[in-house]
């Protein structure tokens, strides 16, 4: 018997030496192992966005029609066909779907399942054996996690799991420890049951960043993150682009809601051209430019953060506010520059904090001699 303390959690594994040896052997990766490519189950064009054993997400601000987008993915999976630009091909034995909604009432969930039926071409009130829809709004946070865990254990042949409302599996969206725990659940569930999990998470109202520490963890570990954005010119059109994709990036597309209340591809839609690449470097930025970028990078973050999370947040802040998109190597040099100028401070535990009261005087360029 031994105790392992992680944060405020204490594990007490009761394991004999032989049981631990079996556990240890199961964790080892050997050079002689056969490499199996995970089945590719959802594509957009030539881009693979979902494979078995992984998880992905749809993100967007309120009223961006994230759930309509998820409905299209589910309908494609149910028919193993194409809905909007989603082409599904789940293998035999992995054709069933579990849909968990943590936000909506039962009557609204009924609208969603009926919408999925109509997207598939089925009668809207027909119960499908290959999909089960559970509304968890009235359950507590830990109970939601437990219900999902138990359902995965008793439901055979599931290939796709939807968790519409990932935030509701946490008590505190800004807890790094809890975020890591929930992302760990997604990784374990998707791997243990050899299925794909697609989640839904809101973006911050002030910018296009996924919310809290759970958003940061999602960026690090997800296979694909889709961003759903309401079109500025036409509020009935929602645009879908890749915020993150491990495979090749797909061409953005858009959908609208037709008279029957179903998502359909928006006719004549052309994605906006990419913004021009910024050519200046971080040493030529003014104090105000740094402040705008860092306020976005550290939005909602007050506790010290580690090196990898810091680089990610700097990438997000400087790219989204200034168009300053650079490699990890350049961002690491930016970090050193910010520390040198007391804009970032290194604290015990190899972590970093943002000095919001910084004052930076941009050095004057030497006059050119004639």
10-51 tens-digit pLDDT: 455 677 888 888 888 888 888 777 766 678 999 999 899 999
Same domain, residue pair 166 and 300? no
CB atoms within 10 A of CB 281: 13
Q: What is the pTM of this model?
A: 0.71
Parent domain of 337: 282-354
Tens of pLDDT, residues 44-88: 998 999 999 999 999 888 788 999 999 999 999 999 999 999 999
Both 131 and 187 in one domain: the answer is: yes
Q: What is the pLDDT of residue 368?
A: 45
Residues 242 and 62: their CA atoms lie apart, in Å, by: 18
Same structural domain, 54 and 92: yes
Residues 266-281 have pLDDT tens digits of 988 877 665 555 556 7
Give the E-state strand segments of 231-336 in sequence order: 237-245, 253-257, 263-265
Q: Are residues 210 and 346 in the same domain?
A: no
Residue 103 predicted with pLDDT over 50:
yes
Domain of 299: which CATH number? 1.10.10.10
Please check whether residues 184 and 305 belong to one and the same domain: no
Q: What is the tally of structural domains in the chain?
A: 2
Q: What Å distances lie between residue 247 and 46, 49, 223, 225, 361, CA to CA?
A: 9, 7, 8, 11, 42
The whole-angstrom separation of Cα 50 and Cα 325 is: 26
Residue after which a domain boundary falls, among 237, 265, 293: 265
Q: What is the dihedral of CA 163, 169, 173, 176, to 10 degrees?
A: -100
Residue 52 lies in a domain: yes
205-258, pLDDT tens digit by residue?
555 556 567 877 887 788 899 999 888 777 789 999 888 887 788 889 999 999
Look at residue 312 and tell me if it is in a domain.
Answer: yes
- The answer to whether residue 205 sits within a structural domain is yes
Asked if residue 17 is part of any domain, the answer here is: no
Query: Where is pLDDT greater, at 137 or 212?
Result: 137
Do 320 and 216 lie in one domain? The reply is no
Question: Quick check: is 324 in a domain?
Answer: yes
User: Is residue 331 in some structural domain?
Assistant: yes
Q: CA 228 → CA 51, 112, 201, 323, distances in Å?
A: 21, 18, 11, 20
Task: Judge whether 229 lies within some domain.
Answer: yes
CATH of the domain at 173: 3.40.50.300
Domain edge (last residue) among 265, 291, 312: 265
């Amino acid at each position: 018997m031994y105790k392992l303390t992680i944060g405020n959690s204490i594990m007490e594994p009761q394991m004999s030496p032989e049981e631990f040896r079996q556990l240890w052997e199961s964790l080892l990766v050997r050079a002689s192992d056969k490499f199996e490519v995970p089945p590719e189950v959802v594509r957009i064009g030539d881009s693979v966005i979902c494979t078995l054993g992984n998880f992905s997400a749809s993100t967007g601000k309120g009223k961006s029609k994230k759930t309509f987008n998820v409905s299209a993915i589910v309908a494609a999976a149910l028919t193993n066909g194409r809905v909007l630009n989603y082409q599904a091909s789940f293998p035999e034995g992995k054709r069933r779907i579990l849909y968990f909604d943590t936000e909506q009432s039962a009557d609204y969930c009924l609208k969603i399942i009926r919408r999925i039926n109509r997207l598939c071409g089925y009668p809207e009130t027909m119960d499908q054996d290959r999909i089960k829809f559970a509304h968890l709004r009235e359950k507590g946070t830990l109970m939601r996690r437990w219900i999902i865990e138990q359902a995965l254990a008793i439901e055979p042949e599931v290939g796709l799991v939807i968790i519409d409302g990932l935030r509701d599996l946490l008590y505190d969206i800004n807890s790094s420890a809890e975020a890591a725990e929930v992302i760990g659940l997604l990784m374990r569930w998707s791997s243990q049951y050899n299925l794909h999990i697609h989640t839904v998470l809101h973006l911050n109202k002030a910018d296009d960043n996924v919310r809290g520490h759970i958003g940061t963890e999602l960026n690090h570990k997800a296979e694909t993150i889709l961003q759903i954005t309401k079109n500025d010119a036409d509020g009935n059109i929602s645009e879908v682009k890749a915020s993150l994709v491990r495979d090749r990036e797909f061409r953005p597309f858009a959908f609208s809601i037709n008279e029957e209340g179903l998502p359909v591809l928006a006719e004549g839609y052309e994605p906006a051209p990419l913004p021009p690449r910024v050519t200046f470097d971080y040493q030529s930025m003014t104090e105000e430019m740094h402040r705008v970028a860092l306020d976005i990078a550290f939005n909602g973050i007050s506790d010290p953060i580690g090196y990898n999370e810091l680089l990610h947040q700097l990438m997000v802040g400087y790219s989204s506010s200034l168009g300053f998109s650079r490699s990890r190597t350049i961002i690491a040099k930016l970090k050193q520059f910010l520390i040198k100028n007391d804009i970032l401070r290194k604290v015990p535990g190899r972590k970093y904090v943002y000095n919001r009261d910084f004052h930076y005087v941009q050095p004057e360029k030497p006059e050119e001699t004639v």
